[in-house]
Amino acid sequence: METLRLTVFDVEQDKDSLNKAAELLKNGRLVAMPTETVYGLAASAYDENAVKNIFEAKGRPQDNPLIVHVSDMQMFTDVVGEVPEKAFQLAEKFWPGPFTMVLPRGEKIPASVSAGLDTVAVRMPENKVACELIRVSGLPLAAPSANKSGSPSPTTADHVLYDLDGKIDAVIVSDRCTVGVESTVITLCTNPPKLLRPGGVTLEQLREVLPDIEVDKAVLAEPEKGKPVASPGMKYKHYSPKAKVIMLDGDYEAFKSYVNANKSDGVFALTFEGEESGLEVPTVSFGHKENDLEQAAVLFDALRELDNRGCRLCYSRVPKKQGVGLAVYNRLIRAAAFQVIEL
C-alpha cells in the first residue's frame, strides 16, 4: 500500500488534509498522527478490525494493550465504565496533556484494544492536530507509538516513515513532538493507585493529587521472568536502537576513563551536551545534564542517530531520576536491556 503524506501544520489552514485523515479513520484505516509525546499510530477504538491492523503494522505483541485518545470529557465517559471521582480531579489537573489513566473498560470498547483486559488506558492529548483529528472524526482513537515494535519511538513524521512506510494508510506531516517521550501511565484500578510508566507528568506532580501513589517495580528494574506485570508493555525490551547500549553509572571522569579504555571500531559514547571533549570515540549527546525536559525531547532522536552513524556498541551516561528525568531513565534502561555497569 502507498502511505499518503498529509501536511497539517495549522488546523485552520490545512483543513482539507485533516478532513482526509478523519475520513480514513472513519473507514477503518490507520493514520499516524503527531501528539505532544511521540507520534501515534491511530485507528478507531470502536473498530475491532482496524485495531487488529495496528498490531500487525507495528509487529506489536498481542498482549500489549493500546491507549485510547479522546478530545473531550463526553468522549471520555463514553469509553470507560464506572470511574472513581479521583479520575475527574486528575483529568481536571493534567488534561489535555501527557497523562494516561487506566480505568474500567467501557462496553463500547472492544476487548482487543486492551489486549483482553477489563481495563482501558485513556488520554486526552494537548497537541492541536491530534485533538482536532479526534474531534473531526468524532471517534476515540486507539494509538500506540507509530514505530516498529521495539525500536525507538518516533518524534517526527520522517521517523514514522522510516519504520512504517507502505504499512500504514497515511501519516500527518507536522511539527516535531515537544515532550519527546511517551505519556505518564497510572492505574486507578489498584488500591493504592500505581505509576506504571513515567512520562511528561512527573511523580512529584502526581503526589500532589494522589499522595499514596506507588511506583510499580517495573518502572526502574527488569520485571522478573514469568511473573505477571501490571503494565504489559513494561516487560519488553524496548526503545532500542540496533546498537547495543550499556549504561555506565559514575561521574564524568570515571565515564571517560572507562570508555577510552574500551574504545574500538563502532564504539560510541552517549553523553550529556557539552561533555564531548576528552572522549576518544565518536559521541552523540542527549541534552544538558541538568535539563530533564531537553533530555526527554531529544533522547529518541539520539538513539536513532547512533544507528544512522553505524554505532555497534554505545556507552551511555545515566540521567537523574527526578522530574521528567525518571522517564528518560526508564526509557534508556530499557534501550540498554537493563545493562548497567557501576563505575
The contact set with Mg ion (CB under 5 A) reads 145
Q: What is the dihedral of CA 13, 16, 22, 23, to 10 degrees?
A: 170
Residues touching ligand AMP, count (CB under 6 A): 20
- List the single partner that 65 binds among Mg ion, ligand AMP, none, CB under 5 to 8 Å by kind: ligand AMP
Among 11, 111, 117, 209, the residue binding ligand AMP under the rule CB under 6 A is: 117
Examine residue 287 and tell whether it contacts ligand AMP (CB under 6 A).
no
Nearer to ligand AMP, 17 or 147 (CB): 147
CB of 118 to ligand AMP, least distance (A): 8
State the Cα–Cα distance between residues 103 and 249, nearest whole angstrom: 37
Mapping DSSP to helix (H, G, I), strand (E, B) and coil, where does residue 14 land?
coil
Quickly list H helices, the chain.
Answer: 15-26, 48-58, 73-79, 85-94, 128-137, 157-164, 203-209, 252-261, 292-308, 325-335
CB 153, CB 147: distance < 8 Å: yes
CB of 200 to Mg ion, least distance (A): 15
Which residue shows C-alpha cell 486507578? 188
Among 154, 233, 287, 323, the residue binding ligand AMP under the rule CB under 6 A is: 233
CB of 64 to ligand AMP, least distance (A): 5
For the chain, the straight-line distance linking the first and the last C-alpha, in angstroms and rounded, comes to: 50
Of residues 135 through 154, those in contact with ligand AMP by CB under 6 A are 144-145
Among 197, 256, 304, 317, the residue binding ligand AMP under the rule CB under 6 A is: 197
CB of 133 to ligand AMP, least distance (A): 17
Q: CB under 6 A: which stretch of 8-16, 25-33, 59-67, 77-85 binds ligand AMP?
A: 59-67
CB of 237 to Mg ion, least distance (A): 12
Of the candidates 168, 176, 173, which has an alpha carbon nearest to the alpha carbon of residue 146?
Answer: 168
Query: In angstroms, how far is CA 307 from the centroid of its own chain?
Result: 19
Which secondary structure element, helix H or strand E, spans residue 341, and what is its range? strand 340-342
Query: Using CB atoms, what's the residue nearest to Mg ion?
Result: 145
- List the single partner that 210 binds among ligand AMP, Mg ion, none, CB under 5 to 8 Å by kind: none
**Which amino acid does the sequence have at 153?**
S
State the Cα–Cα distance between residues 258 and 269, nearest whole angstrom: 11
CB of 152 to ligand AMP, least distance (A): 12
Nearer to Mg ion, 145 or 187 (CB): 145
Nearer to ligand AMP, 65 or 287 (CB): 65
Phi/psi at 48 (5° precision): -60, -40
Local structure of residue 250 (DSSP, 8 states): S
Nearer to ligand AMP, 119 or 178 (CB): 119
Nearer to Mg ion, 62 or 89 (CB): 62
Sheet containing 244-249: give its strands across. 283-285, 267-271, 313-316, 244-249, 340-342
Of residues 64 through 103, those in contact with ligand AMP by CB under 6 A are 64-67, 102
Interface residue list for ligand AMP (CB under 6 A): 64-67, 102, 114, 117, 119-121, 144-145, 182, 185, 196-197, 231-234
